[in-house]
Structure 1
Amino acid sequence: MRLYILMGSILMSILFLGCNKTNETNKTHAFIGGEIINPQSNYIILTKDETTIDTIKLDGRNRFTYKLDHVEEGLYSFHHGGELQMMMLEPLDSLLIRLNTLEFDESLVFSGEGSKRNNFLINDFLENEKTKQRLYGSCQLSPEDYLKHIDSVKTAKLEKLDNFEKKHGASQTFKDFVKTNAEYSYYSSKEIYPFLHRGKNKKEILASLPNNYFDYRKKIDYNDEALKDHFLYKSFLRYSFNTAALQEHLSHSDQDIFGRTSLCYNMDKLKLIDSLVSNPKMKDDLLYYFTINYLTKSQDIENNEKILNYFLAHSQNENNNDRLKRFNTSVQNLKVGSDFPNIDLVNYNNDHVKINDVINQPTVISFWSNNYYNHFRESHFKIKELKQKYPEVHFIMINIDGLVDTGRSKLALSKNRFGYKNEYHLKYPKTSAETLAVYPMTKSFLVNPNDKIVNNNTNIFSVRFEDELLGLINQ
């Protein structure tokens, strides 16, 4: 009942604003409004094509209303508390948004004029996430059965669009966007198969694919300006360069078993990006993404320097260049066998401690951020399970957002009943996160009782993690 009363009151506000413009002949405007539950700031930022339209203040009840005088039909995004969500606006929309920042995507509800298409899009996004979670199992099928499976998924998406259009009508922009989503989700599924298929001989797996398996690549624009910020297009490009580089690498490598940290394979990847992507921003983003991923996983300092030097010679983004130079230095300082950096922490009693003062037994150090809520929940549940199995291990969880977000972190922990024991904030978030090279967020350290790094980049969700943990315990 509360939701309907809330949305009704906001809708009345929007209608009142609209009534003040009864003489307006321009029909290109639209209204948005809504409520943010557990807001992380007192505003949202509205953007289109990476250009900020306006910063919209929340009122005392965490609600907002806003009129766009001239709406260009298409995708817009609103940013709040480090999260981003897309929405599609058309002229004369009166779109209402309600979300809870503690469960951003899952709690998002649209109502009002324009809500049907936006609820369709958010449901499509959530369905894509579920499909991704099931991909590993699907990729164990034979190529023929796998193709039948992903064909059926794509067909189901397009049938949902047809049913939606028959029931509600749909603009060409909306239909084109949904079809693009279906296409690039399908292409990504094709690209990822050789990597997720459990066979280690990738040359053999690639040879088992039908001859026309990658024919769709001939029509791909690797510099599509209209799609450069499209999430599924960007994901597809990453998957595609992974697989294309694998094919290139295996064509001149004398090994059928390949390693993801192979210098040759990763250099092939960067060279393909340089040859196929001419859009400066798209190229810089892809080069940065693959270079930082390589530096995160590689233990070979000499190879790291070669990859970094290639990146620096081809990247035009000076901020990215400086960031990766510092990141590479941090990675070199975190080699296995090195002392773990004695960073400053603050617990939820506001006690200030040095991390090495609380490491006195085999220790796992993991990280989380309020901006990645699903990872926060899943990692804490995983740590809870591991604590019961390995009571001799000390598990430390560090929030990297800084002391200004302590209240938000406390709320997230208490609402999920995780407690505050062995939970910390970084006292100096920017410098400490850089010192520890915290990327990706799933990264964890294994440290022995003498503060020595045993593993500088493991993942508590990895199938190998418990074996690594036993190795730490038995040292």
Structure 2
Amino acid sequence: MELQKGFNFNLFLNTNENFYMKLHFLSLLVILTLFNCKKDGNNAEDNYAYFGGEIMNPNSDFVVILKSDVVVDTIKLDKRNRFLYKINNLKAGLYTFYHGGEVQMVLLEPKDSLLFRLNTLEFDESLVFTGIGDKKNNYLMNEFLENEIQEKKIFKFCQLKPHVYESRVDSLKAFKLNKLNTFKSKYNPSALFEKIAKANIDYNYFSSKEVYPFVHHGNNKAEIVKALPKDFYSYRKSINYNDDFFKEHNHYNSFLRYSANNLALQDHLHHSSDSEFKRNSLCYNLDRLKIVDSLIINKTIKNELLYHFTANYLSKSNNTENNDAIVNSYLSKSSDETGKNEIKRFAASLNNLKEGGNFPDIKIVNYKNEELEINSLIKTPTVICFWSNQYYNHFKESHYKLNELKEKYPEVKFIVINIDDFGQDRPKASLKDNRFKFKDEYQFKNPKESIEALAIQPMTKTIVIDKHQKIVYNNTNIFSVNFEEQLLGAINRK
């Protein structure tokens, strides 16, 4: 996608303020460039980088910079929502910056002076870099966004026969390599940039191969796998499944997840007697945890994958016995004590939300700042949904859908809860800007405790309760094809 897609700076600043903002950034760039020139030739002092920017519609008043999951520093935004930070003793490589639940990676090398602008309402799409180091980071950012668009194409291509599909993804890879070579010829970037950019292309390509059997139509996965060319996965021989350098890299981690899915599928098909593959079956998910345990040696990578697959399974399961089996398998394989405690609490919360059980007492606050017990609102069949400014598209689409449902089912109470923990101003502004009414809109009184108690994962989670305050569905989705059927069942309960 293009730079600044969806970003209109004049929506947020008047003309004069916009002029001074640009002047401010230009001044910073001039100062930083002169400072860099002055330091040229003094190698002992060259090992630093400047990183800063401006955040429109901030979700908090700070930015966190991390390297290899270790916090470098937490930087407060000034009154204009800007910051500038110097990283001394720089370790060249990928850094993560975190703001309000959103994360993005940047490549920093010695003497970079990198500035960015972003609008949190379209976090990735609005992010644009300027300054020394901007070319390589804008290239990587554009690649990231283009890959998101291409994922939709890949899913369509997956319906093609294997050899035709392979030809299409090979062409996509060749196009990207050609684009990278053009960039290299024009800007002569570092070997580190080239390593990362090439890995982006490779791991994205490998992922497209791994996902094919799952997306290709039909549930007879054994036949689909059998129809693949013999060399379809030949690249696996050269893969480092324990790459410490790329362990926090999006494309690498996506590939590892897809690969674990696929390798577990092949193992599962050898001993499963099911006529159709069921992705949420206990057997397959236990197989997947075994694959991760046997394939991955690096503790960080292994623990992250084990946690991801376990939490993902639990978030979609209503079977307590199966949940216990998955949790026990995870606990026996992970060495991450923090992750273990989180999974145990997550499973316990899910068990407390059993269908047919009572909905827990949760305190909520309306936008008049009045505190209420959520159960005091449940006198008719009730749907409880959640949203966050961090998932802005979901916020808008879910509210449009809820407005439709409210018209069709006036006898149902719809309770919509913002789960964010940064006050009421931002959620109120989001509702107002999109012309959504405040009626039936709430926030948690204690967000952290309530999110854990209701096991809110994923964000699309929806809970349906009958007029007796009994849970009918503890984990459904208003966008599901059978949601209205489920809702009618709750309405007709005596």
TM-score bracket for the superposition, by shorter chain length: over 0.9
- Do the aligned residues in 1 keep the contact of 2:36 with 2:111 (CA within 8 Å)? no
Residue pairs, 1:282-431, within 5 angstroms? 282-402=301-421, 404-431=422-449
Distance 1:21 1:136, change over 3 A: closer
Q: Give the Å deviation of 1:226.
A: 0.9
- Three-state SS of the structure 2 residue aligned to 1:75 is strand
Residue pairs, 1:72-471, within 5 angstroms? 72-402=91-421, 404-471=422-489
Residue pairs, 1:18-37, within 5 angstroms? 18=36, 24=42, 26-37=45-56
Distance 1:432 1:58, change over 3 A: closer
Q: Give the Å deviation of 1:97.
A: 0.9
Q: Give the Å deviation of 1:125.
A: 0.9
Q: Separation in 2 of the partners of 1:386 and 1:322?
A: 38
- Three-state SS of the structure 2 residue aligned to 1:405 is coil
Q: Give the Å deviation of 1:396.
A: 2.1
| TM-score when normalising by structure 2 | 0.89
Gaps spanning 5+ residues in structure 1: where? none
Q: Separation in 2 of the partners of 1:213 and 1:463?
A: 34
Q: Give the Å deviation of 1:228.
A: 0.8
- Three-state SS of the structure 2 residue aligned to 1:364 is strand
Q: Which amino acid aligns with 1:437?
A: A
Q: Separation in 2 of the partners of 1:242 and 1:474?
A: 40
Aligned Cα RMSD in Å? 2.3
Identity of aligned residues (%): 52
Q: Give the Å deviation of 1:24.
A: 4.7
CA-to-partner distance for each residue in 1:191-227, whole Å, 9 max, x for gaps?
1122222312111222222222222222222111111
Q: Which amino acid aligns with 2:29?
A: L
Q: Which amino acid aligns with 2:438?
A: Y
CA-to-partner distance for each residue in 1:308-332, whole Å, 9 max, x for gaps?
1121122212222222222212212
Q: Give the Å deviation of 1:250.
A: 1.0
Q: Separation in 1 of the partners of 2:198 and 2:247?
A: 16
Report what 2:32 is aligned to: 14
- Do the aligned residues in 1 keep the contact of 2:48 with 2:88 (CA within 8 Å)? yes
CA-to-partner distance for each residue in 1:250-296, whole Å, 9 max, x for gaps?
11112231222322111111111111111112211111111122222
Task: Out of 176-185 and 452-461, give the one that drifted further.
Answer: 452-461
Distance 1:258 1:435, change over 3 A: same
Gaps spanning 5+ residues in structure 2: where? 1-17
- Do the aligned residues in 2 keep the contact of 1:363 with 1:446 (CA within 8 Å)? yes
Q: Separation in 2 of the partners of 1:264 and 1:60?
A: 54
CA-to-partner distance for each residue in 1:95-129, whole Å, 9 max, x for gaps?
11111222211111111221111111111111111
- Do the aligned residues in 2 keep the contact of 1:343 with 1:354 (CA within 8 Å)? yes
- Do the aligned residues in 2 keep the contact of 1:102 with 1:412 (CA within 8 Å)? no
Distance 1:230 1:123, change over 3 A: same
- Three-state SS of the structure 2 residue aligned to 1:210 is coil
From 43, 68, 74, the counterpart of 1:49: 68
Q: Separation in 2 of the partners of 1:358 and 1:161?
A: 57
Q: Give the Å deviation of 1:55.
A: 2.6
- Do the aligned residues in 2 keep the contact of 1:10 with 1:65 (CA within 8 Å)? no
- Do the aligned residues in 2 keep the contact of 1:191 with 1:239 (CA within 8 Å)? yes
Q: Separation in 1 of the partners of 2:251 and 2:25?
A: 31
- Do the aligned residues in 1 keep the contact of 2:113 with 2:132 (CA within 8 Å)? yes
Distance 1:394 1:145, change over 3 A: farther
CA-to-partner distance for each residue in 1:64-98, whole Å, 9 max, x for gaps?
22223443332122122222111112222221111
Count of residues in correspondence between the two structures: 474
Task: Out of 406-415 and 432-441, give the one that drifted further.
Answer: 406-415
Q: Which amino acid aligns with 1:222?
A: Y
- Three-state SS of the structure 2 residue aligned to 1:47 is strand
Q: Give the Å deviation of 1:413.
A: 2.2
Distance 1:268 1:169, change over 3 A: same
Q: Separation in 2 of the partners of 1:209 and 1:390?
A: 48
Q: Separation in 1 of the partners of 2:345 and 2:87?
A: 42
